[in-house]
Amino acid sequence: MEIQKIYIFEDDLIQATFINNVVSKFFPNIGIKQAGKLVDIVDLLEKLQFPSIFIIDVFLEDANGINVLKKIKQIFPNEIYFSIVMTTGDDASIGIQALKAGADDFFHKPIQTENLITRLLNAKKFISEKINAKELQEKVSHLLEENAKNRERMITLISEFQNSKIQKADKLTESIKNAAFWITQRLSENPEEIERVTLASKLVFVGKLFLTESQIHLPVMTNGFVTNESMNRVPAYTQQLLSQIPDFEDITNILVHIYENFDGSGMPDKMKTWEIPLESRVLRVAIDFEYFLEKNQGKEAKAIELLFNEAHRLYDFRIIAYYDQYLASLNMKGKTGHTRENPILISELTPNMILSRNIFTQSGLKLVGAGTRLTDETIYKILNVNKEDGILGSIFIYEQK
């Protein structure tokens, strides 16, 4: 599937000819249709071909270009096209109106060749991405016609597409999967939850596949708020793509609700606390840990600190605590430049041991901080609180030499 037609709606013959010349050089093998009067535009609307590019002047001789664009969107809601709206003057409100009406791009006249070419390049790239996405959906739809044994093939297809579109997605999903599996094992005795979180972790970025190239590498949420307006559609995109896989409702539900905030301020359904599926809460922490890790030059302690700063507002604190312990478990054999860490029973605590990770209680109290050298008093405190509240997970100490 390729671009079929380019439509120029411009009543100024000189401007229209100029645009036509530029477009014909840029797209020599694509047909160009031109109209300046409403009657001619209406005639073209009855026989449009897609995918296509529309270049529309706002102030036509006997029509409003924004209304023409609205009509196109009304008649052809599911077709692939890119609309460029242009106008004379510097009235910013016109641009806002055009964008609200669904324009993909907007610029003021006079038309500059380089300016127009830049927008044509954007249009070509946008349509190419939409075509690829549509072809992916068609492939997925075709697979649905086969029997249930092809379910795994569909998951693989989407996963491979995800990994090809999003930088480092394969490595990120592998890290997320390993962490999510370890943490969920400690939070749930239900083997189905462990299986679901493992499978869902392979597809955590699928909702971003329909975003533009400039958007796809951005985080969906920043500080608990959508990074930009486009990210509001990520849960719907996730639902749209994964709903085509048979017997996948549970996994889809997990992935759709990854961006619910723990305090109920997230999306798409403003779920809070335990209303959010456990697997969604685990994956959210794992995704954001990887983001913070990259932003802080691989400093795990800093990434964990940033997560804890938003515990209860964005995250389930238990999952962050277990994530910290998961990192400790990776260091039980020691990493280059790191002191080896080991889990220890409460009954085995002795003075002068140094904690390598924070100790939290089941209720969320930070009992003792990482780096603390244990004393008789500290151990007594841990033992007493454990009787009343319970220590969350394991206690890790640095290996004593």
pLDDT in tens, 335-345: 545 678 999 99
**Using 50, 70 and 90 to split pLDDT, how confident is the model at 400?**
confident
**Using 50, 70 and 90 to split pLDDT, how confident is the model at 180?**
very high
Architecture category of domain 146-327 in CATH:
Orthogonal Bundle (1.10)
| pLDDT for the residue 146 | 64
pLDDT beyond 60 at 217: yes
How many other C-beta atoms lie within 10 A of the C-beta of residue 250? 15
Q: What angle do CA 11, 14, 18 make, to 5 degrees?
A: 105
**Using 50, 70 and 90 to split pLDDT, how confident is the model at 247?**
confident
Contacts of 298 (CB under 8 A, 6+ apart): none
**Using 50, 70 and 90 to split pLDDT, how confident is the model at 144?**
low
pLDDT beyond 70 at 123: yes
Q: For 20-65, what is each residue's pLDDT tens digit?
A: 999 999 889 999 999 999 999 999 999 999 999 999 999 998 889 9
**Using 50, 70 and 90 to split pLDDT, how confident is the model at 109?**
confident
Of residues 31, 24, 70, the one with CA closest to residue 49:
31
How many CA within 13 A on the CB side of residue 21? 9
Higher pLDDT, 317 or 139: 317
Q: What token pair was written down for 259?
A: 């961006």
Higher pLDDT, 153 or 281: 281
CATH assignment of 331-398?
3.90.105
| Rounded percentage of the chain residues whose pLDDT exceeds 90 | 76
Query: Residue 366 class from Cβ within 10 Å (0-12 exposed, 13-18 middle, 19+ buried)?
Result: middle
Mean pLDDT estimate for the chain: 91
Provide mean pLDDT across the span 85-111.
85
pLDDT beyond 80 at 150: no
DSSP secondary structure, 172-230, as one string: HHHHHHHHHHHHHHHH---HHHHHHHHHHGGGTTGGGTTS-HHHHTS-SEETTEESSGG
Architecture category of domain 5-130 in CATH:
3-Layer(aba) Sandwich (3.40)
Provide mean pLDDT across the span 264-274.
96
Return the domain boundaries, the chain: 5-130, 146-327, 331-398
Dihedral sign from CA coordinates of 353, 357, 361, 365: positive
| pLDDT for the residue 134 | 87
Q: For 295-304, what is each residue's pLDDT tens digit?
A: 999 999 999 9
**Residue 343, preceding peptide bond in cis (omega within 30° of 0):** no
Same CATH topology for 5-130 and 331-398?
A: no
Provide mean pLDDT across the span 364-392.
93
DSSP single-letter state for residue 311: B
| pLDDT for the residue 111 | 87
| pLDDT for the residue 149 | 67
| pLDDT for the residue 335 | 58
DSSP single-letter state for residue 271: -
* 397: three-class secondary structure by DSSP: strand
| pLDDT for the residue 235 | 96
What is the C-alpha end-to-end distance of the chain, expressed in Å?
66
Contacts of 91 (CB under 8 A, 6+ apart): none
| pLDDT for the residue 213 | 84
How many CA within 13 A on the CB side of residue 149? 0
| pLDDT for the residue 337 | 54
| pLDDT for the residue 108 | 87
pLDDT beyond 90 at 307: yes
pLDDT beyond 70 at 216: yes
Give the pTM. Answer: 0.67
| pLDDT for the residue 107 | 87
